[in-house]
Amino acid sequence: MASKVSVIFTKPETILEDYTRVMEGADWRQSLTGERELLLKLNLSWTKYFPACSSQPWQLDGVLRTLLDGPYTPETIVPVENKTVVTNPVKGARNNLWMPVLDAHGCRFQPLTDVEWTVYKFKSDLLKLNHIFPEGIEIPAIYPGRDILHLPTVKTHGHSITTGAIKNAFGGLLREVRHYAHKYIHEVMVDLLLMQRELHPNVFAVMDGTVAGDGAGPRTMFPRVHNVILASADSVAIDAVAAKLMGFDPMEIPYLRMATEMGLGEGRIKEIEIVGDPIDGVNFGFETRKSLVIWGDQMLRLGPLRFLERLLLHSPLVVWAPFASNVYHDYVWYPTVGNKRIREFSNTVWGQLFDEYSKR
For the chain, give the secondary structure using H, E and C: CCEEEEEEECCHHHHHHHHHHHHHHCCHHHHCCCCCCEEEECCCCCCCCCCCCCCCHHHHHHHHHHHHCCCCCHHHEEEEECCECCECHHHHHHHCCHHHHHHHHCCCCEEHHHCCEEEECCCCCCCCHHHHCCCCEEEECCCCCCEEEECCEEEEECCCEEECHHHHCHHHHCCHHHHHHHHHHHHHHHHHHHHHHHHCCCEEEEEEEEEEEEEECCCEEEEEEEEEEEEECCHHHHHHHHHHHHCCCHHHCHHHHHHHHCCCCCCCHHHEEEEECCCCCCCCCCCCCCCHHHHHHHHHHCCCCHHHHHHHHCCHHHHHHHHHHHHHHHHHHHHHHHHHHHHHHHCCHHHHHHHHHHCC
* Least confident piece of the model among 12-16, 132-136, 318-322: 318-322
pTM of the model: 0.95
Kindly report the backbone phi and psi dihedral angles of residue 87, in degrees, each rounded to the nearest multiple of 5, phi listed first: -130, 155
Rounded to whole angstroms, the Cα distance separating 331 from 342 reads: 15
- Position 320 scores a pLDDT of 64
**Short-list 157, 27, 115, 244, CA closest to 168:** 157
Q: What is the pLDDT of residue 298?
A: 79
Query: What average pLDDT score do residues 6-12 get?
Result: 98
As a residue count, the chain comes to 360
Taking residues 168-188, what's their average pLDDT? 83
Give exposure, 32-53, as e/b (b: 16+ Cβ within 10 Å).
beeeeebbbbbbbbbbbbbbbb
Of 115 and 303, more confident: 115
Give mean pLDDT, residues 102-114: 97
Q: What would the pLDDT profile of 242-265 be if each residue is shown by its tens digit? A: 999 999 999 999 999 999 999 999
Task: Please report the pLDDT score of residue 315 as a whole number.
Answer: 63
pLDDT at site 275: 98
CB 80 within 8 A of CB 107: no
Percent of the chain scoring above 90 in pLDDT? 82
Model confidence at 176: pLDDT above 90: no
pLDDT of residue 287: 97
In a 13 Å sphere around the CA of 320, the CA atoms on its Cβ side amount to: 11
Tell me, what amino acid is at 7? V
Q: Decide if pLDDT at 178 tops 70.
A: no
Degrees, nearest 5: CA angle 230-49-164:
30
Mean pLDDT of 63-74: 97
In 10 A of CB 292, how many CB atoms? Answer: 16
Least confident of 4-8, 167-171, 190-194, 280-284: 167-171
Q: For residue 26, what pLDDT is reported?
A: 98
